[in-house]
Amino acid sequence: MKKAWMELVMAILLLAGVWQISKEGARFVSQRRAGQAVVILDAGHGGSDPGKIGVHGEKEKELNLQITLLLKKKLEKKDVFVILTRDSDEGLYESGSKNKKVQDLQNRVELIHEKKPDCVVSIHQNSYTSPEVKGAQVFYFTHSAEGKKLAEDLQTSLVEGVDPANHRMAKGNTSYYLLKKTDAPAAIVECGFLSNPQEAELLKSKDYQQKLADSICKGILEYIKPDKKSEKTGKTIT
Ligand SMILES: [Zn+2]
């Protein structure tokens, strides 16, 4: 009887091992195919850095991650290979780091250099002293023509898909570290203002987050044009 129990325990342990190995294997399976577009999505802040805090106590880092994860799914459905800088509430720094914020940003930039994506989209939420200020706005590095194109595609898509009354335009910037230090076309999407009570409320809702993710997805696809990209590698039929 004892032997039978031991065999059962051994079998369970063996199965657990196989399951673990297949789980590891699955990670390697998700590799990029030749010709597949690669997009890095960067959920801003995380871990000890909450980002902006909303009028009702909303944490920017949480909303950034929620929208980023929705966006990832949508892009993958369109056959885009997505890499995330973070997929949980953790910053990209070591716990003993003297300057977590600097290390976090450096690691994000390093990942972008390493992966050489077609573009990078960083998701953030805005805040301002006047509570009436609202609306999504996209930023790019002033001296990057491709970054500008990407930001304009994103801004157009956000205005059309989320709020046609939003008259904000994509804006150049020379100081954002992530924009300045990356070679790949990059844009920062400030989805809305956490300092505006109505917008802060919307930004928390799943429906609005889906709408934002849909629009950002559309803007990215407009920029990378994955269909045309695969045409380039095949025979052109015109
Ligand atoms: Zn932010």
Architecture of domain 34-233: 3-Layer(aba) Sandwich (3.40)
Q: What is the pLDDT of residue 236?
A: 36
Cα 61 to ligand 1 centroid, rounded to whole Å: 7
Q: How far is the CA of 155 from the centre of ligand 1 (A)?
A: 17
Residue linked to tokens 């301002």: 128
- Distance between Cα 76 and ligand 1 center (Å): 24
Q: For residues 44 and 38, what is the distance between their CA atoms, to the nearest angstrom?
A: 19
pLDDT in tens, 31-67: 888 889 999 999 999 999 999 999 999 999 999 999 9
pLDDT for the residue numbered 1: 59
CA–CA separation, 187 vs 139, rounded Å? Answer: 6
How much distance in Å is there from the Cα of 138 to the middle of ligand 1?
12
Percent of the chain at pLDDT exceeding 70: 86
Residue 26 has pLDDT above 60, yes or no: no
Q: Where are the domains of the chain?
A: 34-233
pLDDT of residue 168: 98
Give tens-digit pLDDT for 71-84: 999 999 999 999 99
